[in-house]
Amino acid sequence: DTGVSQDPRHKITKRGQNVTFRCDPISEHNRLYWYRQTLGQGPEFLTYFQNEAQLEKSRLLSDRFSAERPKGSFSTLEIQRTEQGDSAMYLCASSPGLEGPQHFGDGTRLSIL
Amino acid sequence: QKEVEQNSGPLSVPEGAIASLNCTYSDRGSQSFFWYRQYSGKSPELIMSIYSNGDKEDGRFTAQLNKASQYVSLLIRDSQPSDSATYLCAVTGGYQKVTFGTGTKLQVIP
């Protein structure tokens, strides 16, 4: 197993466009997390899944953001009608359970023109 | 009050010295505590996890947890220039939410 995989690594798009990111967690991990990180800040929690169930969403996550994990394996994060403020690194992490440490993917860097 | 607080730094230490990084948290129900290292432009990398009061050592790294005082620290012995990075403290709270601090930037001077 090569760890958490995210695709794409970089995404440049125009304001108003929709974007979708994919995350493949470590195979035996049942928890999957999405974070957003901007320069000089720690990762900001967006949402997490246990298997296919989305258990929590941050209040900071507007209705333009949606995440899915349809079969409890890979997950997608979609941002509709992107705005300048969406420019950030989007990180995915997985863990074997609540108490286990999270392992991060390399992230997807989103730039909004 | 932030849920997880860290001094943003930069913390500068000479090569070979001990670097001491501190983190305080507000949720008394917190159960799990982690230290991550993040190089510029890279994703966080797990260094240490600690779950009970006391010290936990792994190589040059020692994590210290004091739940009564609600702080967790990371000591790096024999600091190397390659240790220069931002160190993130992460805490799993009583509601199963993982919260990260903003990180402390460490600079090890050769």
- Looking at residue A57, its pLDDT comes to 84
Read off the pLDDT of each residue in A28-49 and give the average, rounded to a whole number: 92
Read off the pLDDT of each residue in B49-75 and give the average, rounded to a whole number: 96
Cβ–Cβ < 8 Å for B75, B62: yes
Scanning B15-54 for CB atoms below 8 A from A yields 31-32, 34, 36, 42-46, 49, 51
CB contact under 8 A, B102 and A40: yes
Burial class of B22 by CB neighbour count within 10 A (0 to 12, 13 to 18, 19+): middle
Read off the pLDDT of each residue in A32-50 and give the average, rounded to a whole number: 92
For B5-61, write each residue's pLDDT tens digit.
Answer: 999 889 999 999 999 999 999 988 888 999 999 999 899 999 999 999 999 999 999
DSSP designation for A101: P
For B84-97, write each residue's pLDDT tens digit.
Answer: 999 999 998 765 67
Scanning B80-109 for CB atoms below 8 A from A yields 88, 90, 92, 96-103
Q: Rounded to a whole number, what is the distance in Å from the CA of A3 to chain B's nearest CA?
A: 12
Distance linking the first and last C-alpha atoms of chain B? 36
For A47-66, write each residue's pLDDT tens digit.
Answer: 999 998 888 888 777 899 99
Spatial strand order of the sheet with A75-79 comes to A5-7, A19-24, A75-79, A65-68
- Looking at residue A61, its pLDDT comes to 78
- Looking at residue B94, its pLDDT comes to 62
CB contact under 8 A, B99 and A45: yes
CB-based contacts of B98, cutoff 8 Å, min separation 6: A33, A45, A102, B90, B91, B92
- pLDDT band at A105; cut points 50, 70, 90: very high
Tell me which chain A residues have a C-beta less than 8 angstroms from the C-beta of B3.
Answer: none
Tell me which chain A residues have a C-beta less than 8 angstroms from the C-beta of B97.
Answer: 45, 56
- Looking at residue A100, its pLDDT comes to 78
Q: Which residue has the tokens 């790294």?
A: B61
Task: Count the helix, strand and coil residues of chain B and give each as a percent rounded to the nearest 5.
Answer: 5, 55, 40
Tell me which chain A residues have a C-beta less than 8 angstroms from the C-beta of B100.
Answer: 35, 42-45
CB contact under 8 A, B44 and A43: yes
Cβ–Cβ < 8 Å for B10, B31: no
Tell me which chain B residues have a C-beta less than 8 angstroms from the C-beta of A44.
Answer: 100
Whether the per-residue pLDDT at A1 is higher than 60: the answer is no
- Looking at residue B101, its pLDDT comes to 93
